[in-house]
Chain A
Amino acid sequence: MSDIAERTELTLERRFKAPVDRVWEVVTQPETMVLWFGHDGWTMESHDLDFTRPGPWYAFMRSAEGNRFDVSGAVTEVSPPRHVAFTWAWHDALGARGHESRVSFTIAPAGDVTVFTLHHTGLPDAETASSHAGGWAAVLARLERQFTD
Chain B
Amino acid sequence: MTALPQTFSALSDPVRFAMVERLLAEGELPAGRLGEGFDISAPAVSQHLGVLREAGLVNRRARAQQRLYSIRPEGLLAVANWADEARRFWEASLDRLEKVLGKEAKKNE
Per-residue contact bits, chain B 62-101, to A (CB 8 Å; 1 contact, 0 not): 0000000001010011011111101111111111111111
Q: Which of B3, B77, B96, B101 contacts A40 (CB 8 A)?
A: B96
Per the bound structure, the CA–CA distance linking A18 and B71 in Å amounts to 49
- Nearest-Cβ distance from residue A112 to partner chain B, whole angstroms: 11
A10:B104 contact, CB within 8 angstroms: no
Chain B neighbourhood of A131, CB < 8 A: 14
Q: Is A4 among interface residues, defined by CB-CB distance under 8 A? A: yes
List chain A residues, Cβ under 8 A from B13: 128
- Report the separation of the CA atoms of residues A131 and B18 in the bound assembly, to the nearest whole angstrom: 12
Q: Mark A109-149, 1 if CB is under 8 A from B, else 0.
A: 00000001010101111001101111010111011001100
**Closest approach, in angstroms, between the C-beta of A143 and any C-beta of chain B?**
5
CA distance A138 to B12 in the complex (A): 14
CB proximity to B under 8 Å, residues A73-110: 98-101
Q: Say yes or no: A124 contacts B80, CB within 8 Å.
A: no
| Additional pairs, 17, CB under 8 Å, beyond known A146-B24, A146-B73 | A7-B82, A7-B83, A8-B83, A14-B97, A22-B104, A36-B97, A37-B96, A39-B89, A40-B95, A98-B3, A100-B5, A120-B83, A122-B82, A123-B12, A136-B11, A138-B21, A140-B79
